[in-house]
Each structure stands twice: as structure tokens, then as C-alpha cells.
Chains A and B, each alone.
Chain A
């Protein structure tokens, strides 16, 4: 039996400047792990989560990169390799981009979030990618984020200066029987533009509990994609707050569930000021006995006139034993806004499938093409250099999914 708390405390004590960490640890301890009676954790198999299954420690060696990770890296201008939350290698350089590891100061922002507190207590530092004012970085940046130990708590910040532009792809792998709790913040100064895509391919035994927050200045544009394949329980909370007029957020979240996986997606688009625009597209497919939940909140502050917020959620059922829930929420305190949501849950479209078959495509190929297609639409945010590689990888994964038509 491992002792999570003891290993966590020894880990913290070994760090420099452990007092802030201890503060976060205490907050976590006071909060305790969430319970399923709490509505936002209703779908999580938390009863199966025993922290003493995990031990917090630094990795003892740096494993070789997977072929896929290497391929991604080869197509990037800058590769930041992160192992169990710590930077182990930075390859390449891009003008106007800096990678820094800074002491985390985030704990107070996540007062009620036990997992964020765990991250703040146990992440080695905040990995900060800083893009200078006015820098237009056209070559993609790749973060290869691996988990090799029992527990990893990567903390990543991407900060774009005024009018800066960048495109970042983060790839998560590893995590056999591990707890992976990433925390990310994307800070976009006025008129900046960030494309960020997360491709989560952790081991099917991992617990993945991730949270990201985008903060958008005036006329800033955040295009974010989250593609989730791995983990036993995959929770992905992606928030955006609009701080300046003209800010725009496009968020695409997608998942493929198989086995008895649970994919639990949460979003919160908080329009604090007017003339801001959010588009959210969430699409996922559940096979076998997997299940998914999508809960999206659009919040519009009083006075945030001419806000335009839309969310769409489509779920594909690939087996009669799979299940998908969709829970859109609106909290609108202003009248002069445009707001819309739509959701659907169902099997593959029979007529689309027939159309493909009537061209001579076999049924299994037609179904695979359609499921692939369901996901390809979600890859639009990936830089073109990397889209092809991810697409291929996703295609291979889809080949192993069993489709049971009702």
C-alpha cells in the first residue's frame, strides 16, 4: 500500500520555497476529494479513486519518446518536453518565444477546486511559454507532456503579448495506473491570437482531471481544441473569460469513449464584457460500455451587450450499452445578446451510411469513414503541419473501435 499524503509531503518539503505548496496542500486537505453528491462530480467514478494507490515522486529516468511524439516534434519549431510536470528538454528556438519555469502563484485562484489545489501543491513549477508583443510565430510549438510516475501535476501557462500570434499543440501520453492532473492558463493580451490544441492519449488506466482557463483581452482570439482518447476517467474542464470587447473564443472539444471509460467535459464561457463572441462545438463518440457527459455553461454579465454565444453538442452512440448526456446551461443577465445552444445524441446517420454504401463502400468502412469524419471536423484548429499526423493516429485508433448498430 502506498501512502499518497506522506509521499506528497516529502515531495513538497524537498522543493525550494515549500511554504506556498504547503498552503495549497492544506487547502486541498481541508476540501478533501469531491463527492458524487456534488452535482458537478455526479458522473465521476470517484468511489474508485483511492489516492493511496498513487505515490508522488520525481521520475528516476527519462523514457524514450514514442514514435508519434517524435513525429509531432519533428514538425514543430520549438519542442518542450515535460515529464511528470517538469521540463526535461527544450529543442529548437523561435524568435519572440521564451520558455520559463516560474514559481506557481495560482493556488488562490482555485480556492474551491481540490484537484487544482493538488496541482498547485505538487507541480514542480509553472511552465510558462511567453510570446512577445507583436511576435507572429507561424511555426507550431509542441509540448510533449508525459507521465511516467504514479502521479503528475503539470502546470502550463501560455502568455501572448499584445498582437502576438502563436499556435501550440500539447500531447499527453503515458500515465499507466496514474493520476494526471494538469492545470493550464492561457493569457491573451489585447489583439493577440492563440491556437491551442490538446491531444490526450493517456493510458486507458489513467485518471485524467484537467482544467484550463483562457483569459481574453480586447480583440483577442483563442481557438482551442481538446481531443481526448485516453484515460479511464477523463475530465476536461475548459473555461474562457472575456475581459475585453471584441474578444473571441472558439472551443472544440471531442472524445472517443471505449471500454468502460467515462469522458466528463465541462465548459464555462464567461462573458464579462459586451461585443464578445464564443462558439463552442463539442462532439464525441461513445462505444462499448463507455459514457460521456457534456455540461456547458454560458454566463453573460449584466451590461455585456451584443454578446454572441453559441454552443453545440453532438454525441454519437456506437453501441447500445454506451451512454451520453448533454447538459447545456445558460446564465444570462443581459437582454441585448445572441445566445443559442443545440444538442443531439444518436447513432450514426443511416442515410449517410447508405449513401456511402451506394458508392461501393463496405459497411464497416462507411462507418469508420463517418466516425473519422465526425472527428476530422474537430481537427480544424490544429496547425496544418501537425493535422495530418494526428489525423492518421486518430484513424488508426478508430480502426480498433467496435461499432454496434442498434
Chain B
């Protein structure tokens, strides 16, 4: 059993402070959902945690099992169990998904077969993974390809940045079911950032956190999704003084 603890995280992007003291604690096997309006800092959280070079951490702490991730390189953070599935996964021409996964530490033995199997689980044509990483893939295919990487690498915690945008209903269902499966198959903790409630039809949240102005302003159980659906984010908005 692992725990991910984010405390007082402050992050600056292009000279502007976007995360202003973000706190969150979650355990293996749990599904936490972060919801919030555009610009509230949801994606910043994901990128900062994954060590994106454009995001500067000003203060705070991110710990998995007593290890401070913010002291580590992007590579080491992932190797310590934090994986980010991106909203817009990058094209890396000339690099094949299988070579990426081997370099990331996946055992080569039977890897192609496992990739094929995982591709089918998220309704992705396996031959898509024979091409270069994300090159010429549609937005939806890229997200499903991220899910394949996730399933092969089996991190302790998976962050998903708007994994649902650009997916059709069927694909969304497949992705949600895959994530739900991950929570039991290897006790993966899922931290899903989303705008939409529809991801939650097949992925049961342990907790939902509402983010506004760079911090968590409300936390609740699955019922939170319905409140947000009905009332929107407005009631949760922090008014800047």
C-alpha cells in the first residue's frame, strides 16, 4: 500500500503563479478526481508533478512512500511510481513505442504481445503501436496509446490529464474500464483530471476535489459530481481580494 501526498504545492508558469498551495492525499487503489473550471490549475498540477520543463515549483512537497519527488528528475519520479498520461501526448518521430517502453524499464520478453492485448482493451488497433510514438495518430488514438503505456509500466499512481477529451463515448467507456481495472489489478491509484462527469460513469471515484484559483476548495464523495453537474463551478469560486 502506497500513499501520495501533495502539500502546499506552489507552481509558476511563464512568470505567473498558477498553483497556490495545493494539497491532496490519496492511497493505492483509490480513484481521485480533480474537477474545476478552465485555468484553475488542473493541468499545471499534472505537468508540475511530472517535471515538465516549463513549470517552476516555488514551494511544497510531493511524497510517495517517504520519497520526496520534487527532488528527483522527471525520469526518477516516474520510476518511483508516478505516471502522467497527457492530454496532448507528443509525437516523437523515429521512436517506436516498444523501444520507448523497453527504455522505460518494461521487460522485453513478450512485450509486443502484452502491448497488443492492452491495445485491444482500450479499443486501439495494435498496428497503430508499430508506428513511431504518436506520429500520425488521432487525438483519441494518442490517449488510448497512453493507456497502453500506463498498463505496461504499471505505476503506483497514474495521473490522467483530461484523458476523456476527444474520446468518443465507446472509447471513453473502454478507457474508464481500463483504469478501474488498474485499481484492482496492481492496486494503482488513479488521479484523474477532467472537465466532464461522463468519465465517472464507469470509473468510480473515491473522492472528488474541486479546484479553483490553484487550490482545492472542496472535497467530497461521488455525490460531488452531481452537485457540480447541477450548480456548476460558480458556487466554489474563490473571489480574489
Query: Could you tell me which A residues sit within 8 Å of B by CB distance?
Result: 350-352, 354-363, 365-366, 369-370, 372-377
Residues of A contacting B90 in the complex (Cβ-Cβ under 8 angstroms): 351-352, 355
Q: B100 contacts which of A354, A359, A377 (Cβ < 8 Å)?
A: A359
The minimal Cβ–Cβ distance linking B83 to chain A, given in whole angstroms, is: 8
Contact, CB under 8 Å: B73 / A357: yes
Please give me the residue from chain B that is nearest to A373 by CB atom: B94
Interchain CA distance A321-B74 in the complex, whole Å:
27
Contact, CB under 8 Å: B53 / A373: no
Interchain CA distance A356-B153 in the complex, whole Å:
13
Confirm or deny: B44 has a beta carbon within 8 angstroms of a beta carbon on chain A.
no
The minimal Cβ–Cβ distance linking A199 to chain B, given in whole angstroms, is: 17
* A360 touching B99 in the complex, CB below 8 Å, given contacts A355-B92, A374-B94: no
The minimal Cβ–Cβ distance linking A350 to chain B, given in whole angstroms, is: 6
Contact, CB under 8 Å: A369 / B103: yes
List the 4 shortest-distance A-B pairs measured between CB atoms, nearest first. Answer: A373-B94, A360-B78, A360-B104, A357-B74
Known contacts A357-B73, A361-B104, A372-B94; 4 additional CB pairs below 8 A are A354-B74, A358-B84, A359-B101, A377-B94
Residues of A contacting B50 in the complex (Cβ-Cβ under 8 angstroms): 358
CB within 8 Å: A-B pair count: 84
> Which residues between 91 and 107 of chain B lie within 8 Å of chain A, taking CB atoms?
91-95, 99-101, 103-105
Residues of A contacting B78 in the complex (Cβ-Cβ under 8 angstroms): 357-360
The minimal Cβ–Cβ distance linking A282 to chain B, given in whole angstroms, is: 15
Which size class do B's interface residues fall under?
20 to 34
The minimal Cβ–Cβ distance linking B89 to chain A, given in whole angstroms, is: 7
The minimal Cβ–Cβ distance linking A370 to chain B, given in whole angstroms, is: 7
Residues of A contacting B53 in the complex (Cβ-Cβ under 8 angstroms): 350-351, 354
The minimal Cβ–Cβ distance linking A246 to chain B, given in whole angstroms, is: 27
The minimal Cβ–Cβ distance linking A166 to chain B, given in whole angstroms, is: 27
The minimal Cβ–Cβ distance linking B96 to chain A, given in whole angstroms, is: 8
The minimal Cβ–Cβ distance linking B139 to chain A, given in whole angstroms, is: 16
Q: Could you list 18 examples of A-B contacts with CB < 8 Å?
A: A350-B53, A351-B90, A352-B90, A354-B53, A354-B74, A355-B90, A355-B92, A356-B100, A357-B75, A358-B51, A358-B83, A360-B78, A360-B104, A360-B105, A361-B103, A372-B94, A372-B99, A375-B94
* A359 touching B149 in the complex, CB below 8 Å, given contacts A354-B51, A369-B99: yes
Residues of B contacting A354 in the complex (Cβ-Cβ under 8 angstroms): 51-53, 74
Residues of A contacting B133 in the complex (Cβ-Cβ under 8 angstroms): 355
Contact, CB under 8 Å: A373 / B95: yes
Please give me the residue from chain A that is nearest to B146 by CB atom: A359
